[in-house]
Structure 1
């Protein structure tokens, strides 16, 4: 029998590694599903059967592992971005991507208004290179709260921030200088953003110096206002079709873009779906 060539052996090893990586989450799920406290024989004797995880459960486990891997690679936990917020943001990103609403930059901007304004609570993430492009301060609306945003609204002249998913639009020059239009896509939560002129712009009251003098950032009329020394770079980077997610303490918030099945299909690909 002819011996395999070096190239063939390398291909076989590569396939084996890929198969191993794909099977690890499934094996872990099987392991977790097996009772450790009692032998299989005892369970059978007692008339009990060990339930094997369903294909859907294995798929969910694999999806969750991929999300945790991405979260770990980005190293955002050390910067204060909680996994549950990250998970919602990424789920929405893939849903919007699936709907054809985003460009090909693979950028995701996350703002977590559960954090106080004195903390850096805006992240611009490159999901392709797995890098944090920007991590900075961001202001919330004047009527949303003092140091922490607790109230949100979609109403015109409410002077509050609006939660949910946005798709960035074109930039323009207005009363705040270089600014970026935002289209809210969550019905009932932020769809009046364009009418309200809720945009990204720079502001003097978004700075460490303002925090030292006042104990918190200044507040906008509902816009996610940025530091003056960074707003132009951020606007140029995220404009024209990237995803923005504003998270906050509002238990009533819901979104059709938090469909995990759609996100799962996009992240895992057809070969790893049921």
Structure 2
């Protein structure tokens, strides 16, 4: 009888062990898979999404020490794309000119960028208006005879020869900010006071009557490159403008 109980006990232990083993293995597999999934999620969460504007910016060959600020570039590109979507630019348009008027006027704060070839065609000094500020721009206006610069997006138009020599007409596209530019005769032209020599003598370059004036030596090359319905963006970190510009805030 004792022998029978012993045999039954052994049988019970053996059968039970076979019964529990598969479930434990399944449980271990699930735990293992769960850990792998967690690791995969963790790795994915550490991968930073790169915007198309950031990818384009990083691919442009800016000269060392003369890079255009990324945030300014991103805003300029947004306006460029929205103007193109609105049919105000040719589909083939690929030139973007940016003036960063948050920078010192003694620095090269104008860039002409070829978005297709991803290269800077020009990086130059550019003047702001006489009543916009001294070395730094601080005040902007869309009013006649204010002698101030106007921030915002422009489309380049035709060229002509006037009192300041070879010049480029500009069409202001931001209502209330620069749309009076054509009437005010705000144009791109050359000026002797836009030079390193003038800045060295006066602690700043000269100032215009509101026009984005460039060095005489670069007047014709820059104007001939960007004329004929290309984008010029004059940037300044004015929150009122940044929040209201049609071209920065279109969905």
Same fold? TM cut 0.5: yes
Change (3 A) 1:29 1:67: farther
Could you list the runs of 4 or more consecutive aligned residues of structure 1 that deviate by over 6 angstroms after TM superposition? 27-30
Instruction: Write the deviation string for residues 201-228 of structure 1: whole angstroms up to 9, x where unpaired.
Output: 0000000110111110000000000000
TM (norm. structure 2) is 0.78
Question: Which residue of structure 2 lines up, in the alignment, with residue 146 of structure 1?
Answer: 134
Tell me by how many angstroms 1:78 deviates.
4.0
Change (3 A) 1:28 1:120: farther
| Cα RMSD for the two superposed structures | 2.1
**What SS is found at the alignment partner of 2:210?**
coil
Q: How many residues align?
A: 208
**What SS is found at the alignment partner of 1:125?**
strand
Question: Which residue of structure 1 lines up, in the alignment, with residue 246 of structure 2?
Answer: 256
Question: Which residue of structure 2 lines up, in the alignment, with residue 167 of structure 1?
Answer: 155
1:187 aligns with 2:187: no
Alignment of 1:113-132 (within 5 A): 113-132=101-120
Once residues 249 and 160 of structure 1 are traced to their aligned partners in structure 2, the CA distance between those partners, rounded to angstroms, is 16
- Alignment counterpart, residue 227 of structure 2, candidates 239, 247, 257: 239
Tell me by how many angstroms 1:250 deviates.
1.6
1:176 aligns with 2:164: yes
Gaps of 5+ in 2: 1-39
Once residues 232 and 94 of structure 1 are traced to their aligned partners in structure 2, the CA distance between those partners, rounded to angstroms, is 27
Once residues 227 and 176 of structure 2 are traced to their aligned partners in structure 1, the CA distance between those partners, rounded to angstroms, is 24
Q: Is the 8 A contact 1:166 1:182 kept in 2?
A: yes
Instruction: Write the deviation string for residues 213-270 of structure 1: whole angstroms up to 9, x where unpaired.
Output: 1110000000000000001110000001000100013221131111464xxxxxxxxx
Question: Which residue of structure 2 lines up, in the alignment, with residue 92 of structure 1?
Answer: 79
Q: Of the two, which has the highest radius of gyration?
A: 2
Tell me by how many angstroms 1:110 deviates.
0.3
Tell me by how many angstroms 1:113 deviates.
0.3
Instruction: Write the deviation string for residues 158-185 of structure 1: whole angstroms up to 9, x where unpaired.
Output: 0000000000000011001110000000
1:68 aligns with 2:54: yes
Q: Is the 8 A contact 1:161 1:223 kept in 2?
A: yes
Once residues 246 and 45 of structure 2 are traced to their aligned partners in structure 1, the CA distance between those partners, rounded to angstroms, is 31
Change (3 A) 1:127 1:30: farther
Question: Which residue of structure 2 lines up, in the alignment, with residue 32 of structure 1?
Answer: 45
Tell me by how many angstroms 1:31 deviates.
2.2
Once residues 139 and 193 of structure 1 are traced to their aligned partners in structure 2, the CA distance between those partners, rounded to angstroms, is 16
Gaps of 5+ in 1: 1-26, 35-57, 262-274
Instruction: Write the deviation string for residues 122-154 of structure 1: whole angstroms up to 9, x where unpaired.
Output: 000000110100000000000000000010000
